[in-house]
Chain A
Amino acid sequence: MATENDIVAELAASAQRVVADGPGPTGARSRRSQLPGYDPSYLGLLTDLGWLGILVPEEDGGIGLGLPEMAAVVRELEKGLMGEPLLPYAVLGARVLVHGDGPARAALLAQVPAGECLAALALDFNGALPAVTAVPADGGWRLSGQAGSVVGGVSATHLLVPAQAADGVRLFAVPASSPGVTRTHLWRADDTPLGQVALAEVVVGNGEVVATPAAAETAVARALDETRIVAAAGLLGLSEHMLAMTLDYMGVRKQYDQLIGSFQALQHKAVDLYIDKERAAAALQFGLATGGDPATLPLAAVRAKGRCSDTACRVARDSIQLHGAIGFTDEHDLGLYVKRVLTLSAWLGNAGEQRRRFIDMGWALA
């Protein structure tokens, strides 16, 4: 029987092959400021590989693997700048659905692995629930308000909208084509779109409820933390890739008749990046080891996302410095990785934000 580790290793190897065969940075470059921010045929490949269903339980029609498996895939895919649209649809959206308790849950979840349901969670910035209200209407609900930060929102089939009703927060699955839904977008640092959604008296039925007030807020919070851990894996992959690029460059670029990699000041800087990367890998491992338990999930997410964000930002900055002017150009691929880091580290809370959560949980003076 294949052990868990075998599956993780196998998935990582497959993801490496996908990156090797994929368009890599060239593809990312050609998609800049283009909707939907990924190549639709790539979504087809992800579907064929079954990866959209990695985090969907078997009884709901998925593969029923866990965060370690998804993290292994995303860590490798980000080295080719190919983590989207797995993150919004197969991680965040899928996990919100998994944690739901409402009538819409099962049918939508069953469509996730085949890519028929691309569900994007509608949030406001910094993980806040959106300012959306739900009022009862004709045996259903009428939703109004806006959500300012909806990753995957521009091409989602469904918007998962947490809405404030008189009796608490309900989570609705709003078909993106519903009358009254307006979708616009901002551009993220990596020139992929960030959806913005306005809802004007959008009518939804009771059958569209994904989570009742008993479960909605927890479902969102858990899915966010799970996604933070997978995003941390992506940031680790980016750190690994940028460090490798930088070490390669230090081994070919000459100044003063010497390889710049022979200068000790630069060697020590590179070692510090390596050490940080190792430490980020350890934090991610902690996150993956403890993230399966809802009780320890928040700390797992805080530590993994905080450390990996911090590390990736540092590796990104110092990689530019160690490349010199070429690292400051649009032409060099390093910039694409740096911008991806800035996008992913800011998403769902950067290192400072995770540290604040750590303090709020009472760990600082523990």
Chain B
Amino acid sequence: MRDWNALSDEAFRLAARDFIEAHCPTHLRRGEEHVRWAQSKDWYHAMAAHGWLAPGWPMEHGGMALKPAKHLIYLEEWARAGISRVMEQGVLNVGPVLLAHGTPDQIAHYLPRILSGEDLWCQGFSEPGAGSDLAGLRTEARIEGDTFVINGHKIWTSGAVDANHIFVLARTDKTVKKQAGISFILVDMNQPGVTVKPIVTVNGDAEFAEVFLDDVCAPVGNLVGGLNNGWRVAQSLLGFERVWAGSPHMGRQAMDRLVRVARLAGRDRDPAIVDRIAQLQLDLADNSEMYERLAQEIRAGHSFGFEVSTLKIVATETYARITELTLEIAGEQGGLAGEAPFADGPLLLGKADLLRDYLTARAPMIYGGTVQIHRNILAKRVLGLPA
């Protein structure tokens, strides 16, 4: 195992670029949000084989054990290359959760199977009746002997069509306050009673799905972090990745496209348009400055708090506004699906066309806590406003 932290930041960045250049297929480098496992598995295996799959995991478990500064570089380089995210729940959430709350047996069993791509995970939290108010979830797990029997209905489950494992939050005690009766359970999807029904997104992708659980079984040994302790376990998810959700990288890429569209549409000399582009450039620049301040804290090994809510709000809303102006600048062509023709020649944006960008930018304001929920958090926890 290589000690990546021993490299200088610059050397590590170059190593990441070399690795991507050598191994990442071009069809995964178009900045597409969603790709199926069949298209991405070679890349997944290549990352695993060369030790690049799990940047945050400890080395003894096959991870890169990257310190924060290097971890941010890793994320930056993946974003810069426009690499699509591939079945990431195992690496991103299951591994860290087991390392923090799992038993030695769970760690020994599941972590290698994530690296090998044998187990592909999805996150079964949201339900039709429990979105922002996740603790209101109604999926139930009752204990029969040494087995959880689970019944319920999960929804918006990203990657469920390709996954073979799901970690669910299920109610295990109905007599207590809602957060106190929830458990975090690992479930094998290869069994009768699990039904996955794809949901087509507004973009036409099969990105997420409904997952119906009818008398689905999981051994009690698949409980993580103790009975009725699932809320606390779930809260510990996405520690480091929460920072990345506030990074300006999506906005920056959208801004590059905006400037290209402005030129193609001949609006780059229209003062009314240029003024609005300038405002968004300034927003993006100042968002980046805020993000950099937090990144510096993190690089210095300091902990972070509710700044991530602030960053998430500004990063996702600025990104969305950039796509809005792009569509407006495109004029009538902004109303087209697919590649839009301009007098200057066909607009070559790959599959990431204008409409798609515009719609894609809606999602980050919803997942990972909506921007309204993050405002609630800031109002209460940072501004101390009354309930």
Contact = CB atoms under 8 A, between A and B. Distances in A.
Contact of B290 (A282, A356, A359, A366): A282
A13 B33 CA distance: 48
Interface stretch (A107-115, A186-194, A233-241, A264-272): A264-272
Contacts of B289: 279, 282-283, 285-286
B275 A359 contact: yes
Contacts of A286: 285-286, 289
Interface in A96-114: none
Contacts of A359: 274-275, 278
Interface stretch (B85-93, B108-116, B207-215, B375-383): B375-383
A364 B274 contact: yes
Nearest to B378: A271
B156 to A, nearest CB: 24
Contacts of B310: 274-275, 278
Contacts of A274: 310, 378, 382-383
A274 B310 CA distance: 9
Contacts of A364: 274-275, 277-278, 281
A272 B310 CA distance: 9
Given A262-B385, A279-B314, A307 B286 contact: yes
A358 B383 contact: no
B282 A268 contact: no
Interface in A263-306: 264, 267-268, 270-272, 274-275, 278-280, 282-283, 285-286, 303, 306
A267 B384 CA distance: 10
A278 B290 contact: yes
Nearest to A289: B289
A50 interface: no
B262 interface: yes
Given A247-B383, A261-B386, A282-B293, A358 B282 contact: yes
Contacts of B385: 247, 250-251, 261-262, 267, 270
B375 A268 contact: yes
Contacts of B1: none
B340 interface: no
Contact of A270 (B263, B383, B387): B383
Contacts of B286: 279-280, 282-283, 286, 303, 307
Among B268, B274, B383, find the residue whose CB has the most chain A CB atoms closer than 10 A.
Answer: B383
A251 B290 CA distance: 28
Interface string B36-70: 00000000000000000000000000000000000
A325 interface: no
Interface size class of A (residues with CB under 8 A): 20 to 34
Contacts of A365: 259, 262-263, 268, 274, 277
A364 B282 CA distance: 8
B172 interface: no
B379 to A, nearest CB: 4
B282 A275 contact: no
A20 interface: no
B281 A358 contact: yes
B187 interface: no
A366 B284 CA distance: 13
B372 A268 contact: yes
Among A250, A264, A271, A355, find the residue whose CB has the most chain B CB atoms closer than 10 A.
Answer: A271
Given A274-B382, A279-B290, A363 B313 contact: no
Contacts of A267: 375-376, 379-380, 383, 385
A275 B379 contact: no
A259 interface: yes
Contacts of A279: 286-287, 289-290, 314
B175 interface: no
B235 interface: no
Contacts of B313: 275
A274 B375 CA distance: 10
Given A247-B383, A364-B277, A285 B293 contact: yes
Contacts of B293: 282, 285
A228 to B, nearest CB: 15
A220 B384 CA distance: 45
B37 to A, nearest CB: 38
Interface string B249-275: 000000000010011000010000011
24 contacts: A251-B384, A251-B386, A264-B376, A268-B372, A268-B379, A271-B379, A271-B383, A274-B378, A275-B310, A279-B289, A279-B290, A282-B286, A285-B289, A285-B293, A286-B286, A286-B289, A303-B285, A355-B282, A358-B282, A359-B278, A363-B278, A364-B274, A364-B275, A364-B281
Interface of A: 247, 250-251, 259, 261-262, 264, 267-268, 270-272, 274-275, 278-280, 282-283, 285-286, 303, 306-307, 355-356, 358-359, 363-366
Which 8 residue pairs across A and B have the least CB separation, nearest first?
A: A267-B379, A364-B278, A282-B289, A282-B290, A261-B385, A262-B386, A271-B375, A271-B378
Interface of B: 259, 262-263, 268, 274-275, 277-279, 281-282, 285-287, 289-290, 293, 310, 313-314, 372, 375-376, 378-380, 382-387
Given A250-B385, A267-B383, A283-B289, 13 more contacts: A247-B384, A251-B385, A267-B375, A274-B310, A274-B378, A279-B286, A279-B287, A285-B289, A355-B282, A358-B282, A363-B281, A364-B277, A364-B278
